[in-house]
Amino acid sequence: METDTEQKLRGGFYTPRPIAEFLAEWAISSGNEKILEPGCGNGNILLPATKQLEENKGKITGVEFYEVEADKAEKRLLDNNIDPSLFKIVRDDFFKFCINEHRWENKSYDAVIGNPPFIRYQDFDKKQRVRASEILENSGIHPTKQMNAWMPFLVGSVQLLRGEGGRLAMIIPAALMQVNYAEELREFLSRSFSRLTIITFEKLVFDGIEEEVVLLLGETDGEESVGINVIELKDLSDLESYTYEEFKHEDIKSLDHSTEKWTMYYLDNKEIELIRRLKKNTQLNSVGDYADVNVGVVTGRNAFFVLDKEQVEEHGLKDYIKPIVSRSSHLGKGVKFAEEIYKKNKEEGKRCYLLNLPDKDASEFPNKVQKYIQEGENKEYHKGYKCSIRDPWYKVPTTWTPDGFLLRQIHQYPKFVLNETQATCTDTIHRVKFKENKEEMKNFFAVTHNSLTWAFSEFIGRSYGGGVLELEPNEAEELPIPTSNWEKISLNKVNQILKEKGPHGLLDYTDRILLKEGLDLSDKEIETLRNIWEKLHQRRINRN
């Protein structure tokens, strides 16, 4: 029997029956003669597809790289008394199938349905990488090392789909909607289909994986793009009672072919219109206009480098330490990380010291320090990747103290915190460094807390199955901030309200000064922005 590791390496996660049946029913209709399943596995989708074809008199070609899976699929169809004339299983690499046997000019398939494998670029063999890159480049998409197998599978499938009356129905990671490296892919899809529908689920629908998936449905009718429709269902039971006739055309949103992430299409058309209008507002600046956002300190082994008070004393390290924040919860509830908060962390035994050894030979340190370094080597910490590329391995680079912090993994909202200490932080937190005078810039940490910035964060960042929002440094620098009334915001008051009343209580104060008085937004527009933030952050939190 196949192990979980073997299944993961080949990227095979079997399609739940309700999804397989839905995709087959939606994609295959009267007149569909040639159907393609680009990674058929053991036949979970092939079976309902062939049953659908019995009524429509077409033929499906399944492509499968792994012989064992292809054999299972063939046996399964025959055991279910499927007429052999309805299907053909090709035992081959789908990338090779696309390039060698069905050149992209041969757009002959009426429908493509499937669940492509989720295999990281690093796990491709060399020939597959070359073929995958060729498929992507043929459609104007630049391959990257972040590429996963599902991307060239999807692009190759679109290339083989006929340009008028074709239908594509595939299971795709929700990353399609929100990651930066899929930006060119999103644009390619919006050019390739007249209408796109994405079905998402409130609950995770694949057993054994935390990856959120969506059902991507594309239609070609030879016309220019009509737009995109995002439909959210609760779970598979909702899908079983759902039919494509229920797709509402009035819910279709026009696609922005620039850099818009598709997370935004969870919003209704009036909300999208407001967001697009605000993007053009010249009174808005971005975080990157005022500050650089950088990753925190990458130690390579926090267990060795991030210490508590007792460890520092035990190993004689007091002359070789620097204050550090190792967890977001250690920053406190407000927007200022003060000395008293750091002092409390120390007293409570939290790991708030960074081992900050100078660049010199181990033999030059006191005996206790030498012994501690040796203990690390006995545990082979020096062989870990980050440590192994440093010389000496125990010298941590870039330990500079930032002007402030930004939580990397966000529960409710992007929290910027002023640093009033000499502490740096681990890479669980981003470091914020001002571009200008530090004293004049302190209100930056107040004006980042408002409904507009928080709403935009939900579709500038990305969230996965765990319910947290992540902002990479370049994404954080894109966050818009209203600065017209910068001087009227009190950082101390923001800090106090946030600690006493929480984020919702704070917005009543900041939105009035920054959005109503500063940007001249109406009460209705401010309410809409707050509702957008609430809607999107509650959606991802509910997925945890």
Q: What is the CATH number of the domain that holds 255?
A: 3.40.50.150
Query: Is there a single domain that holds both residue 262 and residue 331?
Result: no
What torsion, rounded to 10 degrees, do the Cα atoms 320, 322, 327, 328 define?
180
Query: Is there a single domain that holds both residue 63 and residue 186?
Result: yes
Least Cα distance to 152 among 167, 164, 142 occurs for 142
Q: Give the whole-angstrom CA distance, residue 78 versus residue 85.
A: 11
Query: Is there a single domain that holds both residue 490 and residue 416?
Result: yes
Residue 388 domain-assigned (yes or no): no
Least Cα distance to 355 among 329, 380, 375 occurs for 375
Query: Is there a single domain that holds both residue 11 and residue 106?
Result: yes
Q: Give the whole-angstrom CA distance, residue 353 versus residue 373.
A: 16
**pLDDT for 151 beyond 90:** yes
Q: Which residues pair with 405 in a beta bridge?
A: 417, 431
How, if at all, do strands 469-470 and 404-407 pair?
unpaired
- Specify whether the CB–CB gap between 519 and 500 falls below 8 A: no
Which tokens hold the place of 516? 């109503």
Residue 308 domain-assigned (yes or no): no
Strands (DSSP E) contained in 383-448 are 404-407, 409-410, 416-419, 424-425, 429-434
What torsion, rounded to 10 degrees, do the Cα atoms 5, 8, 14, 19 define?
140
Residue 342 domain-assigned (yes or no): no
Query: Is there a single domain that holds both residue 90 and residue 172?
Result: yes
Taking the model in full, what pTM does it have? 0.85
Question: How much is the CA Rg of the chain, to the nearest whole Å?
Answer: 27
Least Cα distance to 495 among 324, 338, 342 occurs for 338
Q: Which structural domain, as residue segments, surrounds residue 490? A: 290-296+327-336+397-541
Neighbour count for residue 204 (Cβ, 10 Å):
15
pLDDT at 260: 80
Query: Is there a single domain that holds both residue 249 and residue 331?
Result: no
Whose tokens are 């082979």? That residue is 380
Which tokens hold the place of 439? 């004293």
304 vs 101, residue with greater confidence: 304
Query: What's the number of domains the chain is made of?
Result: 2
Q: Give the whole-angstrom CA distance, residue 63 versus residue 101.
A: 12
238-273 per-position pLDDT tens digit: 887 776 655 555 567 887 755 688 888 899 999 999
- Specify whether the CB–CB gap between 377 and 406 falls below 8 A: no
305 vs 119, residue with greater confidence: 305
Whole-number average pLDDT of the chain: 89
pLDDT at 292: 97
